[in-house]
Amino acid sequence: MPTNANRQFLDFEKPIKDLIEEIEHAKHRQEKTKIDMSDVIQRLDQSILDKRKEITRSLSSWQRVQLSRHPDRPYTLKYIEKMTTNFVELYGDRNVKDDKAMVGGFASLDGETVMIIGQQKGINTKMRQLRNFGMANPEGYRKALRLMRLAEKFNKPVITLIDTPGAFPGLEAEERGQGEAIARNIYEMVRLKVPVICVIIGEGASGGALGIGVGDKVFMMENTWYTVISPESCSSILWRSWDKKEVAAEQLRLTADKMLGFGLIDGIIPEPTGGAHWDYNESARILKDYLVPVIKELKLTAPEQRTNNRIEKFGKMGFWEEV
Amino acid sequence: MAKQFEDFDANLAGEEGKTEETKTSWFKRIKKGINTKTSEKKETPEGLWAKCPECNYICTVTELREHLFVCPKCSYHHRISSQEYFELLYDNGQFTELFDNIRSKDFLEFTDLKPYKKRLEDIWSKTDLKDSMRVATGTIYGHGIVIACMDFEFIGGSLGSVMGEKFSRAVDYCIAHKQAYMVISKSGGARMMESAFSLMQLAKTSGKLSQLSDAKLPYISLLTDPTFGGISASFGMLGDLNIAEPGALIGFAGPRVIKETIKKDLPEGFQRSEFILEHGFLDFIVPRKGLKDKLGVVLGHFKS
């Protein structure tokens, strides 16, 4: 977790940055002058908390998108580290290679074995390249499917953590069937005989997200987005300009509250005040507390009933009129 | 501004202006021919000339129609509408349209350069189409089959709630009447104006396909020019048979996006049917002229 000294700030988080700097000054002064500044520091700490609260109270859709991409935001492996024990990472699609943008493996969650799969972004420039910015290739989706089948064979629930700006639009990706890989995953996830829970923990962009996103329950964390296209691409296609991303984000209704209102997701998982990047332990704890009872509940349903419910749930989605 | 709207569909497919709308003035004429209300379509006036975008061969629209809108010289497959596919494929051109009362609704009140509602109203007033997919039932060499066919002229054949719902009802119909199912794709991908609702159609249609599969009924996916995005990332690639017309552009990401990402020119023939076949994602490529016969044979194999 970043310390106050190396935190990164979004434009609308700047007031917090200033407060943190003030604290540092106060501490510095205290050390130098030996005057007790703890009152001031305490007051400033409270101001930071108030500011975090205030900022998240009135976020625009675009700001949520920015938060979902916050450079300090926890990624899949961080949640796995904080939520589970005995994690055994499994690699490769048994076909082409191991896709570093998609990770997964068995882990113990609250004493029970689960299969956790998710896109992984890098934490620094070098890692971001290695992880391909969380954009999986076909082999990533096939690796995910392999792990899901493994879970099914041993009757373990599947949890997917979604965080991707999209499936990778590359030349080799097309050669190896990016469309087919995502299509196959969606098709197989619909029929998976074990409980499947999907959580958007950051960005949920289009087919790249849905490729590991068909579940009995689909949740979004508070500061995430999920829709058919990134606001930037939507702006460039529909507005013919890259400058309308804020409007596009608004029009796409891509935030968790809107998605819940539409009945396209099953719930919103809160984040620590100000966003998940402020406290990894707390974020992971909240997520874990959410997941454990849901798994228990889903297990009560017979596998066939569960897949039928899944088909029915997605079957209801859409709006049209009959004339 | 008018020009801007004109190549709207082209950009949905992520193409580089190589579409009917943007290519040459020739296309404007053909477009007019195809855009004519289907009920009046038969009376395409003689003397309307068409030029092939591939080889520049010039012939009359009537001649082109006789060749099933395939260039008589270079076999370039022009984009055609659902009506033409139905007439071409069904025995004696006889078919019954299904679920034609369902149409799109601007549930989100989505507005880009033009309100979605207005976009829909404009197309409804210009064509007989209610949405980007039409479903029909009939027979091909005696085999009962439901065909769901996209119309590119309706917002780039985009996948929205209506397509998802029609697709689902078509599957239910197949199961109830023990008929085979074929989808003819021709689409730029998901309909952005329906946001996440359009994305969820990928899961909705896949769920229905799994029911069709349980009923042991064949599903044939015919990919035509162009098939991109949400279609290839769902039912487009999930056929018992995935087949395509020659030279069709098929892919997940559009060529423009890929080019921008990798910052290199794309190889000749990239994302064409032949490329997709070579990489193992198509069962076969079939020219439009041989399509019906081949389907007849295949449907026979599935049955016996």
Question: Is A177 in contact with B281 (Cβ distance < 8 A)?
Answer: yes
In a domain, B144, yes or no: yes
When the pLDDT of each residue in chain A is averaged and rounded to a whole number, the result is: 95
- Are A50 and A74 contained in the same domain? no
The alpha carbon of residue A76 and the mean position of all alpha carbons in its chain are separated, in whole angstroms, by 7
Question: Which chain A residue has the Cα nearest residue B271?
Answer: A174
- Are A77 and A26 contained in the same domain? no
In a domain, B88, yes or no: yes
- Are A165 and A290 contained in the same domain? yes
Please state, as a whole number, how many other Cβ atoms lie within 10 Å of the Cβ of residue B267: 10
Task: In whole angstroms, give the CA distance from residue A172 to residue A183.
Answer: 17
Task: In whole angstroms, give the CA distance from residue A108 to residue A193.
Answer: 20
Q: Which domain holds residue A39?
A: 11-58
The mean pLDDT value for B91-109 works out to: 95
- Are A79 and A120 contained in the same domain? yes
What are the pLDDT digits (tens) for A201-246? Answer: 999 999 999 999 999 999 999 999 999 999 999 999 999 999 999 9
The confidence score (pLDDT) of residue A34 equals 86
**Helix crossing, A280-299 with A76-83: angle to 10°?**
80
Query: Which of B15, B117, B195 to probe the A interface (max A CBs under 10 A)?
Result: B195
The mean pLDDT value for A191-205 works out to: 97
Q: Is the pLDDT of residue B14 over 90?
A: no
In a domain, B115, yes or no: yes
Report the candidate in A87, A172, A72, A85 with the shortest Cα–Cα distance to residue A122.
A72
The confidence score (pLDDT) of residue A4 equals 79
The confidence score (pLDDT) of residue B49 equals 87
Chain A hits for B253, Cβ within 8 Å: 167, 169-170, 173-174, 178
Task: In whole angstroms, give the CA distance from residue B188 to residue B199.
Answer: 13
In a domain, A164, yes or no: yes
- Confidence class for position B34, pLDDT limits 50, 70, 90: low
Between A237-246, B32-41, B91-100, the lowest mean confidence (pLDDT) is in B32-41
- Are A131 and A174 contained in the same domain? yes
CATH number at residue B245: 3.90.226.10
Residues B173 and B137 sit within 8 Å (Cβ to Cβ) = yes
CATH number at residue A139: 3.90.226.10
Q: Is the pLDDT of residue B24 over 70?
A: no
Tokens of A224: 């995430």
Q: Which of B164, B165, B203 sits opposite A214 (nearest CB)?
A: B203
Residues B241 and B282 sit within 8 Å (Cβ to Cβ) = no
Residue count of chain A: 323
The confidence score (pLDDT) of residue A38 equals 86
**Paired residues of A197 in beta bridges:** A159, A217
Task: In whole angstroms, give the CA distance from residue B190 to residue B161.
Answer: 10
Tokens of B133: 């997919």
- Are A163 and A230 contained in the same domain? yes
- Are A235 and A283 contained in the same domain? yes
In a domain, B13, yes or no: no
Handedness of CA A192, A193, A194, A198 (dihedral sign): positive
In a domain, B63, yes or no: no
Distance from CA of B288 to the nearest CA of A (A): 24
- Are A175 and A120 contained in the same domain? yes
Distance from CA of A145 to the nearest CA of B (A): 15
**Helix, strand or coil, per DSSP, at residue A74:** coil
- Domain final position from A24, A39, A58: A58
B261 touches chain A (CB under 8 A): yes
Phi, psi of A225 (to 5 degrees): -140, 155
Residue with structure tokens 């100000």? Answer: A274
B257 touches chain A (CB under 8 A): yes
B175 touches chain A (CB under 8 A): no
- Are A86 and A174 contained in the same domain? yes
B253 touches chain A (CB under 8 A): yes
In a domain, A5, yes or no: no
pLDDT, greater one: A167 or B47: A167
Chain pair A-B, CB pairs under 8 angstroms:
194
The mean pLDDT value for B47-55 works out to: 84
Q: Is the pLDDT of residue B57 over 50?
A: yes
In a domain, B69, yes or no: no
Q: Is the pLDDT of residue B2 over 80?
A: no
Chain A hits for B202, Cβ within 8 Å: 183, 186, 207, 210
Q: Is the pLDDT of residue A267 over 70?
A: yes
The confidence score (pLDDT) of residue A321 equals 95
Q: Which of A174, A228, A311 sits opposite B192 (nearest CB)?
A: A228
Q: Which domain holds residue B143?
A: 80-303
The confidence score (pLDDT) of residue B157 equals 96
Question: Is B192 in contact with A174 (Cβ distance < 8 A)?
Answer: no
Q: Please write down the HEC assignment for all residues of chain B.
A: CHHHHHCHHHHHCCCCCCCCCCCCHHHHHHHHHHHCCHHHHHHCCCCCEEECCCCCCEEEHHHHHHCCCECCCCCCECCCCHHHHHHHHCHHHCCEEECCCEEECCCCCCECCCEHHHHHHHHHHHCCCCCCEEEEEEEECCEEEEEEEECCCCHHHCECHHHHHHHHHHHHHHHHHCCEEEEEEEECCECHHHHHHHHHHHHHHHHHHHHHHHCCCCEEEEEEEEECCCCCCCHHHCCCEEEECCCCEECCCCHHHHHHHHCCCCCCCCCEHHHHHHCCCCCEECCHHHHHHHHHHHHHHHHC
- Are A162 and A306 contained in the same domain? yes
Chain B hits for A318, Cβ within 8 Å: 160-162, 164-165, 197, 200-201, 204
Task: In whole angstroms, give the CA distance from residue B236 to residue B223.
Answer: 7
In a domain, B251, yes or no: yes
What are the pLDDT digits (tens) for B221-274? Answer: 999 999 999 999 999 999 999 999 999 999 999 998 999 889 999 999 999 999
Residues A179 and B237 sit within 8 Å (Cβ to Cβ) = yes
Q: Which residues 16-55 of chain B have a CB within 8 Å of chain A?
A: none
B273 touches chain A (CB under 8 A): no
Chain B hits for A229, Cβ within 8 Å: 190, 192
- Domain final position from A58, A77, A95: A58
The mean pLDDT value for A252-279 works out to: 96
- Give the contacts of B254 (CB within 8 A, at least 6 positions apart): B13, B14, B15, B188, B228, B229
CA distances from B109 to A251, B112, B124, B193 (A): 8, 10, 17, 9
- Are A147 and A186 contained in the same domain? yes
Q: How many domains does chain A have?
A: 2
Task: In whole angstroms, give the CA distance from residue A237 to residue B7.
Answer: 11
Query: Which of B166, B169, B199 to probe the A interface (max A CBs under 10 A)?
Result: B199
- Give the contacts of B161 (CB within 8 A, at least 6 positions apart): A317, A318, A319, A320, B104, B105, B107, B194, B197, B198, B201
In a domain, B41, yes or no: no
B112 touches chain A (CB under 8 A): yes
Task: In whole angstroms, give the CA distance from residue B170 to residue A288.
Answer: 41
The confidence score (pLDDT) of residue A59 equals 94
Q: Which amino acid is at B63?
A: E
- Domain final position from A58, A75, A93: A58
The mean pLDDT value for B137-156 works out to: 97
Q: Which of B113, B164, B253 sits opposite A178 (nearest CB)?
A: B253
The alpha carbon of residue A87 and the mean position of all alpha carbons in its chain are separated, in whole angstroms, by 19
Q: Is the pLDDT of residue B70 over 70?
A: yes
**Paired residues of B97 in beta bridges:** B136
Question: Is A183 in contact with B237 (Cβ distance < 8 A)?
Answer: yes
Handedness of CA A278, A127, A211, A303 (dihedral sign): negative
- Are A125 and A173 contained in the same domain? yes
Q: How many domains does chain B have?
A: 1
Question: Which chain B residue has the Cα nearest residue A218?
Answer: B200
The confidence score (pLDDT) of residue B47 equals 60
The mean pLDDT value for A124-135 works out to: 95
The mean pLDDT value for B155-177 works out to: 97
- Confidence class for position B44, pLDDT limits 50, 70, 90: very low
Residues A239 and A248 sit within 8 Å (Cβ to Cβ) = yes
What are the pLDDT digits (tens) for A276-305? Answer: 999 999 999 999 999 999 999 999 999 999
What are the pLDDT digits (tens) for B129-141? Answer: 999 999 999 999 9
